[in-house]
Amino acid sequence: MPDIAKLIGGKWKLIILQILTFHGTKRFNELRRMIKGVTQTMLTNQLRALERDGLVTRKVYPEVPPRVEYTATQRALDLKDMFQAMHKWWEKHDR
């Protein structure tokens, strides 16, 4: 059984998955604008790791300039209830 902390652990992976799960497919620069403080390199690395782990798909369109979109896979969408529970917990305990 894979270690869940390795799959979704860390600040950026959780934010990326939350955005793609609740807001749908996004382009790289859309994600970068939505995630304050993430560098281009860090976002690239995190998206590659999520893709490698089967949580995100990457689609490249043969255009000039190339357009790349990222989408949560069903495996990631299955985490939606967990994200909602985490959000409820945060609202309850954020003072």
pLDDT interval class at 84 (50, 70, 90): confident
Could you tell me the two tokens for 44? 């690239």
Domains of the chain: 4-88 (1.10.10.10)
Mean pLDDT of the 41-63 span: 95
With beta carbons less than 8 A apart as the criterion, state whether 38 and 74 touch: no
Task: State the amino acid at position 13 in one-letter form.
Answer: K
Could you tell me the two tokens for 15? 């934010």
The pLDDT, as a whole number, for residue 2 is 57
Distance, first Cα to last Cα, the chain: 36
Its pTM stands at 0.84
Q: Is the torsion defined by CA of 93, 15, 13, 11 positive or negative? A: negative
pLDDT surpassing 80 at residue 9: no
Separation CA 60–CA 39 (nearest Å): 21
